[in-house]
Amino acid sequence: MISMPTGRVIIGITGASGLQYGVRAAQALSKSGFDVHTIVSDWAKKTAAAEGYSDFAANVRKYSKSVYDESAMGADISSSSFNVYGMIIIPCSIKTLGEIAAGIASNLVSRAALNMLRSRKRLVLVVRETPLGMIELENALRVTRAGGIILPASPAFYSHPKNVDDMVDFVVGKALDAMSIEHEIYPRWGKAKR
């Protein structure tokens, strides 16, 4: 029998469209018993305003044990000595992907992510951009070679989603799968009702 991981998880929410993915991940992890430590980038806040997501900050606080601004470089989660199961950056902007690929720790999101790679802990980047050019693909390959998992925000339709929430749940569920965290957020292949 495989034991279920517990403890602390870091979520990075960056300035790509799809902030609902990050909030739903925090909710699912919190419900599963994890202490969720969420980092919100400055551009995530600007994206929330641009997309009319007025209760974004309140929802992040609701499902997180701690919430950090990207500038909080002295926070406990900035250290590789912070005992954590892993990190999901959801959504992950192309800027954040590029910084991690280049080893640049310019803010708390990229610093925490680099700690995951150097400590050989789980790191999942839910990239939410299209199309991807050669530079982005090469950056994704560099992160993959360093031990990270690139998971594009690509909802499937075999589960017969009835609304946007169902599509969000699929992507979040795949991110939890990549972290080896058990869940029942989306119907798996062969289990979906037709």
Residue 183: inside a domain: no
Residue 186: inside a domain: no
Residue 55: inside a domain: yes
Domain enclosing residue 168, as ranges:
8-178
Q: What is the domain-level CATH number for residue 163?
A: 3.40.50.1950
Whether residue 3 is predicted with pLDDT greater than 80 in this model: the reply is: no
Cα separation of the two ends of the chain: 32
Please tell me the total count of domains within the chain. 1
Give the predicted TM-score (pTM) of the model.
Answer: 0.95
Residue 171: inside a domain: yes
- Report in angstroms the alpha-carbon separations of 91 from 60, 96, 129, 188: 13, 10, 9, 22
pLDDT at 1: 39
Residue 131: inside a domain: yes
Q: pLDDT by residue (tens digit) across 59-95? A: 999 999 999 999 999 999 999 999 999 999 999 999 9
Mean pLDDT (the chain) is 95
Question: Beta strands 149-150 and 35-40: pairing type?
Answer: unpaired
Q: pLDDT by residue (tens digit) across 168-193? A: 999 999 999 999 999 999 988 877 66
Contact partners, residue 56, CB within 8 Å, separation at least 6: 19, 23, 44, 45, 48
Residue 137: inside a domain: yes
Q: What percent of the chain has pLDDT over 90?
A: 92
Residue 190: inside a domain: no
Residue 193: inside a domain: no
